Amino acid sequence: MTGQTFTGVLEFEAKGKAWKVSHESPAFANVIPQIDGLLVVPTDLGGGLRGGDSWTQSVKVCNGAQVTWKPPSCTLVHADVAGRPTKLEQSVFVGKGCRLDYLSKAFVPCAGAFLEQNLRIELESGCDALILDWWTLGRLASGESGQFLQVKNLSEVYFDKRLIWKESWDMKGGDVQKGLAVLAGNGMWMNILSCGDASHSRAQALTRRLEAQGGWASSGELTAGLRLTRLFSSEWIDF
């Protein structure tokens, strides 16, 4: 974010109608009470991160809390002359009887960037959760695709403390430029995880909106009540 290495730490916890935010400056979150729960707007990272920076984020929703987590913008990840990675650590917990719409925006790897993300999701049966994990191959609107150095990801989903789904991949920009088969020419993709009937309906509505903008999707059930939808697009789409 600046000429110095940036370490951002943001922890948010909601219990019923109460909440707590712990942070290390400049990381922060604005919490706005609404009729249907809390709207949480975390730090705007639109100015970007660079190699050597790190961002650690924890979101916990307990005791019947109702939360919408909505960052204001996507985040550019810039290259570091020393080739150091930008490290992202995200954890999400949603308890029984709680709702969380985790409307994460994309981290966008720019030319020469090295990005590492670990994402851990823990859900309890009886929760209502919609969680987005959004990726792009670069600044697509500027014609930049697959020019990053490397992007690594580890995602884990736990349901009632059992590991239900795990995905790990390591993508190099040169591989993308040669044509990575799994992307089939698409420049962005999104994992949409939904738990509970209400969240499935919201996931379907979001999927229809994104498909109307040129995307296509596939969906499957991970376990009873827990569904994963993947959406792909060759063009930049937003919601």
- What pLDDT score does 215 carry? 78
| pLDDT over 80 at 235, yes or no | no
- Report the pLDDT value the prediction gives residue 113, as an integer from 0 to 100: 92
pTM of the full structure:
0.90
HSE, side-chain direction, 13 A CA sphere, residue 210: 28
**The pLDDT of residue 167:** 94
Stretch 5-9: mean pLDDT: 80
Residue 62: closest CA among 120, 121, 19? 19
| Mean per-residue pLDDT, 136-155 | 84
Q: What is the mean pLDDT of residues 41-47?
A: 77
Residue type, 176: V
pLDDT band at 181 (very low <50, low <70, confident <90, very high): very low
User: Cis before residue 26, ω within 30 degrees of 0?
Assistant: yes
Percentage of the chain modeled with pLDDT above 70: 89
Q: Of 25, 50, 83, 18, which is closest to residue 10 (Cα–Cα)?
A: 25
Q: What is the rounded distance in angstroms from the CA atom of residue 193 to the CA atom of residue 219?
A: 10
Of the pLDDT bands very low, low, confident and very high (cuts 50, 70, 90), residue 216 is confident
Q: Which residues pair with 215 in a beta bridge?
A: none
